[in-house]
Chains A and B, each alone.
Chain A
Amino acid sequence: MTGYLFLALIVFSVASFMFGRSLARRKAASQGVRGHSLPAFSGWFVAIWSFIPAALILFVLVVFGGRVENAIVQSDVPAAVQQLPELNQGLFFQDVRATVNGGMASTTVYDGELKAAFDHKVAQAKSVDNTITLGAYALTFILALAGAAFAYSRVSPQFRARNSVERWVSAFLVACSVVAILTTLGIILSLLWESLRFFQSVSPLDFLFGTHWSPQIAMRADQVGSSGGFGAVPLFVGTFLIMIIAMCVAAPVGLYSAIYLSEYASPFMRAWIKPVLEILAGVPTVVYGFFAALVVGPSFREFFNWLGAFMPGTPMGEYLMNVQNQMALVAGVVMGIMLIPFVSSLSDDIINSVPQSLRDGSLAMGATRSETIKKVVLPAALPGISGAMLLAVSRAVGETMIVTMAAGLQAKTTLNPLDTVTTVTVQIVTLLTGDQEFDSPKTLAAFGLGLTLFAVTLALNLIAQRIVQKYQEQYD
């Protein structure tokens, strides 16, 4: 119903546009003058006033209508329902909502007093629902007409419809950017709020500096062996280790391919290599993930097992023989490959922004191309390139899919690239997948980890942006 009303509103606004435009034309013609604004602006003006206030009411109805209804219905709980356990009270109201709005009700059968209470509540909910909906529809209707009438009355050749429309346009643009800002703010606040709840049960010091991570907590008193440990150091170390391995791959390969592309490649080669790199950038990370788990992991394991076979009897050989598919090295290398196009396209832009005059100056003194790059271009581009590397680091730290599939789950504090490690992001995934109640420290720990991750990547991004900006100013 709301959908039809919305469609009707759109039709009405289109009609308003046409009426407004033709009114402006007629008025201008009858007065024999040229209006301040083109007739279409008057049309837009009327259409906007017909549409926006009414549409806002519909929006409020859709978003908040159900909540208001629930609040009213649940404000007084019947005596029969009050005797039920809390869990069943919630179920009762859920069933009421389902019956009114047409959804899946539970299989609970209500009889006797409960039946009476149920029917009473259903009737109440229906009437509240009707009142709210009809009220909102009436308000929408009135606002659409009133808005149209108001705007229609202002249309005249002297009216500055063009400027009015301009103000609406800028208001619309502001509203869009506010949505982005508010969303970010909301995410940060909910992260902070839930983390706060987590830190009420686990001290921040234990969390940041503890070395024991085993978030499984005893659900029942008689369970043993799951005391719960929330020391995140093994996760930080694992994240760091994989990030370092990834950067060892991505930084040199990405930078050197950027140098080739911007300094050596002929236009023909560039036209081929750039799109291929962009394809690499377009591969979904989950594809990299199973590539790591199914191809890279087993081949690395075979390689190390083969290597171990040459050293029978030695501890080193024994260790290599027992290396598993899942190791930090695999996740790091594949993540590095994922980051190559990211690093190379950023570095390419930065190297290209080094003025040609510097290259000419160096070449004109008898420097070769590689000397020019090494001694003039790269030093000039260094701040920008380090900014690009920091951005890559922050992506490596936040990357989830590859590590989930290739690095393992064991929380170990180790810098051995052949060991399985786990990262912050992997733990967030494992903590939150499956059926969970969002009030145990186990699930709340995800928010603590999320907040830490957010703080780290935010800091990295801010530093990187500052560096890149400073560098850009230098050559403007």
Chain B
Amino acid sequence: MKLYTRPLYAPDTSIGKPRDPSMTTTATTPKFVARDVKVYYGDKPALHGIDIDILDKSVTAFIGPSGCGKSTFLRCLNRMNDTIPSARVDGTILLDGEDLNDRKVDPVVLRARVGMVFQKPNPFPKTIYENVAYGPKIHGLATSKEEMDHIVESSLKKASLWNEVSDRLHQQGTGLSGGQQQRLVIARAIAVGPEVILMDEPCSALDPIATAKIEELIDELRQQFCIVIVTHSMAQAARVSQKTAFFHLGNLVEVGNTEDIFTNPKDQRTQDYITGRFG
């Protein structure tokens, strides 16, 4: 099968464009292939060599106790660790077969393909419309007002927020509720036309109802995107993900189908963690 690939080495003219249908990947193709990924903060090692394949069109959950390196690894996938001066990343991570850490890769282009949603909703202090239009604007994805309106509307619809905000697009995004803000941030990430959405504990600041909505949304988005989610809630991992990876003390202990991890873990540490014996 032909892999859907876009050049990681700038310039990438395909950002935000509809994809060639003949070049689509399926839930069995690895989107990311990571081999021996090590991260150091200064001299302190945070990850001790991670090997993992992350599949496209599915949800992969990273679980593990605090400080186990799951967020650090997530941030490797769109090179957000570049923004931390003391962080150093070793090893290879292939996105559709191309090495992310290659010197020729432009992290700006990479991040347009690999979007990210953070723990605390962080809408910009702008209107809802401007929040969503921000990415398309900086990447020049719309040539006219109509096109931009269309991108904003479809992104908000994909993030299941359109019905709630369609009549107040020009109010401040910071005025929305926490759950709405988080969906606005997801819409903002979608608007750039990414292939991957990374989510770093997207529900930890939300109440159960807002959490349920986000989880529902994640399940819908899985049809189109490769989703990687870091979560502290094992119930959430079980509900939304197809694959689960368990991290502990900077090591990837076990990765497999979510069902298997939660019903029949191979490693004693995984067993202990999911039964709540430590963590």
Residues of A within 8 A of B (CB): 266-267, 355, 357-368, 371, 375-376, 379-380, 474
Contact = CB atoms under 8 A, between A and B. Distances in A.
B135 A361 contact: no
B192 interface: yes
A362 B139 contact: no
A interface secondary structure, majority: helix
Given A357-B118, A375-B134, 16 more contacts: A358-B122, A360-B83, A361-B188, A363-B80, A364-B115, A365-B112, A365-B116, A365-B134, A366-B108, A366-B110, A366-B113, A366-B139, A367-B135, A371-B138, A376-B134, A474-B125
Of all A-B residue pairs in the complex, the 5 with the closest CB atoms, nearest first, are: A366-B112, A364-B116, A357-B122, A366-B111, A361-B122
A362 B124 contact: yes
Contacts of A368: 108
A359 B80 CA distance: 11
A355 B124 CA distance: 10
A376 B122 CA distance: 11
Contacts of A367: 108, 134-135, 138
Contacts of A380: 124-125
A405 B135 CA distance: 52
Contacts of A267: 85
B111 A364 contact: yes
B25 interface: no
A365 B83 contact: no
B118 A365 contact: no
B9 to A, nearest CB: 15
Contacts of A359: 83
20 contacts: A358-B122, A358-B124, A360-B83, A360-B116, A361-B185, A361-B188, A363-B80, A363-B111, A364-B111, A364-B189, A365-B116, A365-B134, A366-B112, A366-B138, A366-B192, A367-B108, A367-B135, A376-B134, A380-B124, A380-B125
Nearest to B188: A365
A366 B109 contact: yes
Nearest to A360: B118
* Most chain A CB neighbours (cut-off 10 Å) among B15, B108, B112, B123: B108
Interface in B108-151: 108-113, 115-116, 118, 120, 122-126, 134-135, 138-139
Contact of A361 (B109, B118, B192): B118
Contacts of B78: 364
Nearest to A368: B108
